[in-house]
Amino acid sequence: GAGVSQTPSNKVTEKGKYVELRCDPISGHTALYWYRQSLGQGPEFLIYFQGTGAADDSGLPNDRFFAVRPEGSVSTLKIQRTERGDSAVYLCASSLTAGLSYNEQFFGPGTRLTVL
């Protein structure tokens, strides 16, 4: 009965480094979403998966950002050559599916990324 979990909860890195953020969705949820929330703002869509494939990656800001979900469950958001502007809370959400009818998205607590 666990919810969406994200690890680590906090990540501090230096400019130029590579980071990986992990998301464990609710068991049985086929759709998984990544959002980025900057301080004092609403979450911004990055990418979503239906199963193993990225169905929409239109929100990824540039090619430094990449996400995978190889087995259709756990997902990893990867950021290369981090920049100070990447500092934000990265939220993961999952839903039963993604399609014509709305399926509630359940959010994890987020990973707070700080790039020094």
Binding residues (CB under 8 A) for other proteins: these are 4, 31, 33, 35, 40-45, 48, 50, 55-56, 91, 93, 95, 98-99, 102-110
Amino acid letter, residue 6: Q
**Least Å from the CB of residue 86 to other proteins:** 19
**Least Å from the CB of residue 87 to other proteins:** 16
Query: What's the gap between Cα 7 and its chain centre?
Result: 11
**Least Å from the CB of residue 36 to other proteins:** 11
* Minimum CB distance to other proteins smaller for 80 or for 97: 97
C-alpha to C-alpha distance for 103 and 82, rounded to whole angstroms:
33
By C-alpha distance, which of 77, 41, 42 is closest to 61? Answer: 77
